[in-house]
Amino acid sequence: MEYFTRLSLIKKLGFLLFLIAFSNALTAQVRINSTNYPNLREAFNGINAGHYVGQNIVIEITGNTTESQKSEITFNTPSYQSITIRPSGTGTRTITFPSGVAESIVFRDAHDITIDGNNKQLSIVNHNGYRAIQFYNTDDVIVKDCLDCRPQ
């Protein structure tokens, strides 16, 4: 009897671990390679922390996301080859910055940035009256086919 109780407990723990791992995939709205992030800011933090040194980084927006803070990439000496932000999957993907978040997506001292809306399948909305995307001291920037993605 004790054997079956332990086996039942092991099965329950295994199922719980599965749910925890699976919930990360369900809440992830942004992906870089095989790494899922809950929002764009966390993905940018991964880039700023040096997790993708020397790579051509492709940030895929896999679902709608509401950002609670600005998303910023700042490099004094860039350590990546390029960055592309694009939607993934079917339907329009929206990145929303609600009222109270002044700046939205900010690139400082960055280079080789492409924001590809993939035929108007990406929308970046700032409800605070600021531009959705801001560039400071950047080189080789392309913004195309994107809804509401007016760079400044």
Q: What is the pLDDT of residues 60-88, one digit of tens each?
A: 999 999 888 888 887 655 578 899 999 99
Residue range 123-148: mean pLDDT, rounded: 85
Binned at pLDDT 50, 70 and 90, residue 58 comes out as: very high
pLDDT value at 2 more than 70? no
Number of compact structural domains in the chain: 1
Does residue 12 sit within a domain? Answer: no
Comparing C-alpha atoms, which of 86, 72, 79, 151 is closest to residue 118?
Answer: 86
C-alpha 54 chain-centroid distance: 19
Does residue 102 sit within a domain? Answer: yes
Domain with 116 in it: 30-144
CB within 8 A of 91, min separation 6: which ones? Answer: 121
Residue 84 · residue 52 · CB < 8 Å: no
Residue 70 · residue 104 · CB < 8 Å: yes
